[in-house]
Amino acid sequence: MINWWKTELGDSERLAAGQAIKDKHLSSGPTVVEFENQFANLLNVNHAVSCPSGSMALVMSMIAHDIGPGDEVIVPCNTWIATAHAAMLVGAKVKLVDVLSDRPIIDHEKIAEKITSRTRAIIPVHLNGRAANTKEIKKIASKYNILVIEDACQAMFSKNEYGFLGTQSITGCFSLGVTKLITTGQGGMVVTNDKEMYNKLLLVRNNGMESILTPKYERFGVNFKFTDILAAVGIAQLNIIKDHAKSIYELYKKYDDALKNMSLIKLIPVDYNNGELPLYVEIITDHRTKLMKYLKKNEIYTRVLPPALIEAPQLKQAGKYPNSKYFGDNGLYLPSGPDQEKRDIEKVIYSLKEFENLVI
């Protein structure tokens, strides 16, 4: 059986977690601080604040920016729904914007028409390592005096010409979930270069207090703390992040080279030659259901791309988002991940070609 995603933890992670337990570093302590410092250094930012998930990284960032009931937040219509749910959790209203026709990232030219007097933030999503146009989005944000919060949960270590994605606005959010470049099982990180914002994030993470030993209620916050056990695993993962990045880059290029001449199955493009790092291998096909069934018969498991957010009733949205709907209706994840076996990927590619020949 070839799973749609494969990553493995080994002796380094096991020993690191065991050492944290042996040292009685269980909750949020020195190992968390070390993990955050290493993460910040890796991405060339001043500060990093860990938390339980990428979703909570987004929530923390919005709380630190005082976004709440009555505010509106602009979100691309094609993204993992956690982006929109994070805004809902702080009481904000989600405003959707369609994505580009060739790449499932927010169409910045359609943002201004969704801005109202209540708009507080734009959340561009660097979906699967693809760079949203942060330069133009920041111009729009500046014109209307609103914030930009980058959702880089699927874009760790991915770059554009300005540097790492997720580091080009006042806050950027990352995920450490199991299907990410590095994993602690669950986990997230908010990064910033702004000292004042960093201090706000620390308060937000700790129930709005600087210290629980001498409690002083300074602002609204929640227990968003990370643990030393998971941070120890994270440090071990950071030691191999470049290996993981190289592995998924080579995996995507192998698929890209093999599928160039296919007509029914096309890769959704990622600009890997200019620094974008494709976390997943995504294809678009008008024969998605048939293809999934065919691959499953060959013990190859895939996963559909998330549907367009317009289909989520809890968001209470109206309108047409044709590009987002197209990706949601026809997109598919092929087996991906840093630890996929070469022979398994060769089997997937062979099966894709065989399927196309049968359909044609």
- Provide the CATH number for the domain around residue 312: 3.90.1150.10
CA quadruple 81, 185, 130, 6: dihedral, nearest 10: -110
d(CA 175, CA 122): 19
Residues 55, 102, single domain; the answer is yes
Residue 2 lies inside a defined structural domain of this protein: no
pLDDT of residue 72: 98
pTM, to two decimals: 0.96
> Lowest-pLDDT range, 204-208, 252-256, 356-360?
356-360
- Mean pLDDT, range 268-274, rounded to an integer: 95
pLDDT of residue 25: 86
pLDDT of residue 292: 97
d(CA 337, CA 311): 28
- Please determine, for residue 213, whether its predicted confidence score (pLDDT) is greater than 90: no
- Strand spans (E) along 16-80: 47-51, 72-76
Average pLDDT, the chain: 97
Domain residues for 109? Answer: 11-238
Last residue of a domain, one of 238, 253, 279: 238
Per the structure, the count of domains in the chain is: 2
Q: State the pLDDT confidence band at 321, using cuts at 50, 70 and 90.
A: very high
Looking up tokens 């493009």 gives 269
- Please determine, for residue 5, whether its predicted confidence score (pLDDT) is greater than 80: yes
- Mean pLDDT, range 264-283, rounded to an integer: 96
Residues 225, 79, single domain; the answer is yes
